[in-house]
């Protein structure tokens, strides 16, 4: 079992992936924008905004997206919506550099028409 994994993006998809990742990692941290979501995941192990009916495993916690700059794992799942991925990637480029990233985001960026792999490569 690996020790740590991070899921970047706290929507329903990111939350579902965090629950799955918790089966093979000792600690899984969801990085989310919404302070209410972070608080509820940490206190009640529930993502009250996007998956209120699912109890998360005890080894899943959450942090504010602002704390992504202090990332303490090399294993990431990227579930940030494509529309916001370029900004989040740019703002946290130093923290993300050299990490193993599983991209789990779908769709295209509306303004550019680019796929997520190209959006994150800019």
C-alpha–C-alpha distance, residues 8 and 14, integer Å: 7
| Model confidence band, residue 121 (pLDDT cutoffs 50, 70, 90) | confident
pLDDT, residue 107, reads: 87
Residues 6+ apart with CB under 8 A from 24: 1, 2, 5
Match 């900004």 to its residue by tokens. 87
DSSP type of residue 18: H
Quickly list H helices, the chain. Answer: 12-21, 35-44, 82-91, 93-96, 116-120
Give Rg (Cα) of the chain. 14
Q: What is the pTM of this model?
A: 0.94
pLDDT, residue 117, reads: 87
Q: Within 10 A of 94 (CB to CB), how many other CB atoms are there? A: 9
Classify residue 70 as left (phi > 0), alpha (psi -120 to 50) or beta: alpha
Q: Within 10 A of 44 (CB to CB), how many other CB atoms are there? A: 11
* 35-72 residue pLDDT tens: 999 999 999 999 999 999 999 999 999 999 999 999 99
pLDDT, residue 1, reads: 59
Reply yes or no on whether the pLDDT at 31 is more than 70.
yes
Per-residue pLDDT, averaged over 103-120, amounts to 90
Reply yes or no on whether the pLDDT at 78 is more than 70.
yes
């Amino acid at each position: 079992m690996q020790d740590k994994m991070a899921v970047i993006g706290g929507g329903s998809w990111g939350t579902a992936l965090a629950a799955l990742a918790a089966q093979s990692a000792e600690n899984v941290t969801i990085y989310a924008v919404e302070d209410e979501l972070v608080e509820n995941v940490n206190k009640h192990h529930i993502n009250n905004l996007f998956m209120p009916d699912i109890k998360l495993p005890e080894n899943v916690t959450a942090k504010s997206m602002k704390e992504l700059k202090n990332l303490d794992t090399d294993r990431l799942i990227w579930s940030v919506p494509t529309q916001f991925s370029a900004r989040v990637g740019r703002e946290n480029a130093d923290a993300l550099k050299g990490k193993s990233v599983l991209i789990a985001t779908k769709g295209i960026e509306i303004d550019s028409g680019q796929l997520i792999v190209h959006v994150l490569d800019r």
